[in-house]
Amino acid sequence: MNVAAPVYIFDPAEKPSLPLFDVPLVEATDDSVREYGRMVDDPADCDVEIVRWPAQGWRPVDEDSGDEGGVTEGIFHGNWRGDVLYGSNEAVGGNYVLGWSIDPQAASAERQTTPREKVLLWHLNYHPDGGQMFFPLDNKPFVVPVALPGDDLTPDKLIAFRCDGSRGLYIHPGIWHEGIFPVTDSQRFLDRQGRVHARISCDVGAEFGVYLSVPLR
């Protein structure tokens, strides 16, 4: 089945009004993130897992091949403009509408019309080829929504890690996520991930008829 790649930059008013599904907020600690990845104290010590290309039949992939794409890194910017949260990832040249703080039919990118207490999330993805590290460069709190691996994703499988800004977060290959949500107006992160950057996507609104309401506080 061929599926078109998501369009990541758009006017939020193009999205419909939908019910909200509340995502629980969990404080990020060494114990709470263990199934999903790990906390990062020093990005220099954080190696990114690279997954070997899968064999297509019974003959195995040679041990010295299939995982040579390496990693890429750059600055991930999270910026609120009015009611809309935008992201840009220099590591992979990506630009995104991550979500909004109010019904998209009412959201304004020109001015803030409501307190930024949550992000209404429309999309999730995971990378089968490698893990990903987010390390805060501005030492401010941030939130990362995640779910464990598996294509049978449902909204109730999501949680959101709240990080206090003193440490970074690394997630394993296959972990569902969607960018990084700054609690303040804007924030920068060091992003490190697999260079291949394969994406498996889920349009939450289209598939489940809800937006994921991710609290920021």
List Cα–Cα distances, 172 to 84, 99, 175, in angstroms.
28, 23, 6
Alpha carbons 174 and 74: distance in angstroms, whole number: 21
Q: Determine contact, residues 158/145, Cβ cutoff 8 Å.
A: yes
List Cα–Cα distances, 117 to 60, 62, 105, 120, 190, in angstroms.
50, 50, 18, 10, 24
Q: What are phi and psi of 212, to 5 degrees?
A: -85, 120
* 70-88 pLDDT tens trace: 999 999 999 999 999 999 9
Ordered domains of the chain (ranges, CATH): 18-44+71-215 (2.60.120)
pLDDT of 4 higher than 80: no
Average pLDDT, the chain: 96
Q: Determine contact, residues 85/100, Cβ cutoff 8 Å.
A: yes
DSSP sequence for 98-142: EEESS-TTT--SSS--S---EEEE-EEEE-SSB-EEEEESS---E
Q: What is the CA radius of gyration of the chain?
A: 17
* 105-122 pLDDT tens trace: 999 999 999 999 999 999
